[in-house]
Structure 1
Amino acid sequence: MRALQCDEYGSVAQVRLVQKEVPGQPGPDEVVIDVAYASVSHAVGLMVEGKYQTRPPLPFSPGTEAVGEVVAVGKDVTRLKPGDAVVAVAPWGCYAERIKLPEYTVYPIPDGLNLLDALPIPISYGTAYTGLLWRCGLKPGESVLVLGAGAGVGLAAVELATQMGARVIACASTAEKRQAALERGAVAAVVPGPDLARQVKEAADGRGADVVVDPVGGELFGYAVRAAAHDARLLSIGFASGSMPEVPANIMLVKNLTLHGFFFGRYIGWTPAKESIVHAPALQQAMRTMLTWAQEGRLRPSVARVFPMSGLADAMALLHSRQVVGKLAINIKE
């Protein structure tokens, strides 16, 4: 089978297309998936560079999220069967024509939802859903400030917080991204910068945001702290800006703020402890909810552009440009 392979940690440009052995028969709790598309993310780039929390043994195929069709199941698998359309999460390996995975991080796609629309659900939407509910305990009627609101996780957070009954204020760097957030339920769209607190308070009846979702980091985090309401919860889920923020502890203290660090990888098997099996029942329920919402049109997962397998470096460059609305994907069949 064809696969992309990273032979040494470094630039994504070094990843090459190779021929590899097709995965063997699944174990008792495993499934084999014929992959159609796989997503592109900052995590993939960091993994190839050897800078991510997880360092795969070399050589390895990158890719952490895929959609396709089940072609074989182990004897103990009851949730899935050959022929099922599925979306899956893996520690790595999704940039290959076939992949073998534990069944508990593979999720059936409901009828009527196409593969590309399902692709962003597990990681982008899963991160936003579990962060908002499991960590921040979001309640209907609260105000939510979403930073990086035009990209994958940010745009997912806008949609999901809206579905949960929150009043969403979207912060994004371009007019196109702000418009996309407004079309997906945000009640206001603001511009990142030193003036953020004033803009947010104008949109939140003068009191600031009850929850701040931050996949960006950098100096924008400091501006967001000033835009938070008293007793607010801050959710730190990544550093797309390329720099980690400095936490203004004095403002955190005076405003009685809570900072939640959140690593979604803990729930999907990206830690040495491989905790995914522990969290599988709760996560499977969350995925069913989100995939059903997408099927019903209550969520609008967006893949902005699809690249061939030879286009991974181009896809990563576009992602790093921060001009993408939604997600990028690799066509494994092309």
Structure 2
Amino acid sequence: MKALVCHQFGPVEDVRLESIAAPVSADPHAVTIEVEYASVSHATGLMIAGQYQRRPPLPFVPGTEAVGRVVSCGDAVTRVRPGDRVVAIADWGCFAECVTVPSHTVYAVPDALPSKVALPVPISYGTAYCGLVWRCALRAEDTVLVLGAGAGVGLAAVEIAHQLGATVIACASTETKRAEALRRGAAHAVSPDGLAAKVKELTGGRGADVVLDPVGGDLFAQSLRAAAANARILSIGFASGTIPQAPVNLLLVKNLTLHGFFFGRYIGWTPADERAEHADALQAVMATLFDWAATGKIRPTVSAVYPHAGLSEALHALESRQVVGKVAIKIKETDE
């Protein structure tokens, strides 16, 4: 089969499209999927560079999220069968014509949902939903400030918070991204400059009850000043490339709660590999998100698709911060 292969950690340009052996697994919980599309994220580039939390054994096939059709299942698999359309979260391996993953992170796709709509749901929407609901106990009366609101997780958070009844203030770097956030349910959309003053003005001086931060950097400190007393701060990533230092004195005087949130804990991306423990809870979350997507309550978006050999271009587009929503690689030729 054809796959993008990383032979040594370094620049994405060194990853090449090659012919490799198809995956074979005797694991009774394994599911092998013929891949149509695989998503590209900031973590993709970090993993290829050897700078992510986990370093795969070399050589490896990158890609952690795919949509396609089940080819085969282990004897213990009951949720899906060969021929079913699914999305899957993998440790890596999705930039290949076939990928084999544990069934715990494989999710059935409703028949009416196009593959490119289903693709962003597991990681982007799963991260946003579990962070807001599981960690921050989001309430309908909350005002939520979403940083990076035009990108994958940020835009998902805008839609999910709106769907749950909260008032959303979206912060994004371009007018195009801010306009999209407003179309997806944000009550207000602001640029990052002077963030605290803008949020305070929009909330009558009170500030945001919940802050979702996938950006880090200088914007993290601004968001703490934009937060209301007793607010919950959700740190989920550092797309800016800079890990901020929390001013604990500000957390103290404002009674702020800082939540670190690593979605990877629930999908097997830690040394303890807890995916089986959390599988039932995540299946329920995904069922909710797919129902919302199928009924138009959320609109997962892949805004740019690149050919199988186009990973470098896809990552550069993502890092330019001009992309709205998700970027994907097309693995299998389809009519879609």
1:1-334 equivalent positions in 2, closer than 5 A: 1-24=1-24, 27-193=27-193, 195-334=194-333
- Partner letter of residue 273 of structure 1? A
Query: For residues 280 and 185 of structure 1, what CA distance do their matches in structure 2 show?
Result: 29
Query: For residues 210 and 47 of structure 2, what CA distance do their matches in structure 1 show?
Result: 30
Give the secondary structure class of the aligned counterpart of 1:211.
Answer: strand
Identity of aligned residues (%): 62
Give the secondary structure class of the aligned counterpart of 2:179.
Answer: helix
Query: For residues 124 and 199 of structure 1, what CA distance do their matches in structure 2 show?
Result: 27
Unaligned 5+ segments in structure 2 are none
**167-176 or 200-209, larger mean C-alpha shift:** 200-209
Runs of 4+ in 1 over 3 A off after TM superposition: none
Query: For residues 176 and 54 of structure 2, what CA distance do their matches in structure 1 show?
Result: 34
Give the secondary structure class of the aligned counterpart of 1:299.
Answer: coil
**23-32 or 257-266, larger mean C-alpha shift:** 23-32
Give the secondary structure class of the aligned counterpart of 2:253.
Answer: helix
Give the secondary structure class of the aligned counterpart of 2:159.
Answer: helix
In the TM superposition, what whole-angstrom CA distance separates every residue of 1:226-256 from its partner, at most 9, and x where no partner exists?
Answer: 0000000000000111111122222211100
Q: TM-score, normalised by structure 2?
A: 0.98
Query: For residues 24 and 313 of structure 2, what CA distance do their matches in structure 1 show?
Result: 32
Offset at residue 25 of structure 1 (A): 5.3
Offset at residue 41 of structure 1 (A): 0.4
- Partner letter of residue 216 of structure 1? V
Query: Any conservation in 2 of the 1:171–1:190 contact (CA below 8 Å)?
Result: yes
Give the secondary structure class of the aligned counterpart of 1:35.
Answer: strand
Offset at residue 318 of structure 1 (A): 0.8
Offset at residue 298 of structure 1 (A): 0.4
Offset at residue 213 of structure 1 (A): 0.2
**242-251 or 44-53, larger mean C-alpha shift:** 242-251
Query: For residues 133 and 26 of structure 1, what CA distance do their matches in structure 2 show?
Result: 37
In the TM superposition, what whole-angstrom CA distance separates every residue of 1:264-300 from its partner, at most 9, and x where no partner exists?
Answer: 1111111111111111110110011001100111000
Unaligned 5+ segments in structure 1 are none
Give the secondary structure class of the aligned counterpart of 1:309.
Answer: coil
Give the secondary structure class of the aligned counterpart of 1:129.
Answer: helix
Q: TM-score, normalised by structure 1?
A: 0.98
Query: For residues 26 and 116 of structure 1, what CA distance do their matches in structure 2 show?
Result: 30
- Partner letter of residue 183 of structure 1? R
Offset at residue 23 of structure 1 (A): 1.7
Query: Any conservation in 2 of the 1:25–1:72 contact (CA below 8 Å)?
Result: no
Query: For residues 69 and 208 of structure 1, what CA distance do their matches in structure 2 show?
Result: 46
- Partner letter of residue 81 of structure 2? K
Offset at residue 26 of structure 1 (A): 5.1
Offset at residue 27 of structure 1 (A): 2.7
Query: For residues 144 and 204 of structure 1, what CA distance do their matches in structure 2 show?
Result: 11
Offset at residue 201 of structure 1 (A): 1.6
Offset at residue 205 of structure 1 (A): 2.9
Q: 1:230 to 1:88 in 2, by over 3 A?
A: same
Offset at residue 104 of structure 1 (A): 1.1
Query: For residues 249 and 21 of structure 1, what CA distance do their matches in structure 2 show?
Result: 52
Q: 1:46 to 1:25 in 2, by over 3 A?
A: closer
- Partner letter of residue 235 of structure 1? L
**73-82 or 33-42, larger mean C-alpha shift:** 73-82
- Partner letter of residue 127 of structure 1? T
Give the secondary structure class of the aligned counterpart of 2:285.
Answer: helix
**10-19 or 203-212, larger mean C-alpha shift:** 203-212
Query: For residues 217 and 290 of structure 2, what CA distance do their matches in structure 1 show?
Result: 32
- Partner letter of residue 203 of structure 1? L
In the TM superposition, what whole-angstrom CA distance separates every residue of 1:113-164 from its partner, at most 9, and x where no partner exists?
Answer: 0100000000000110000011111111100000000000000000000111
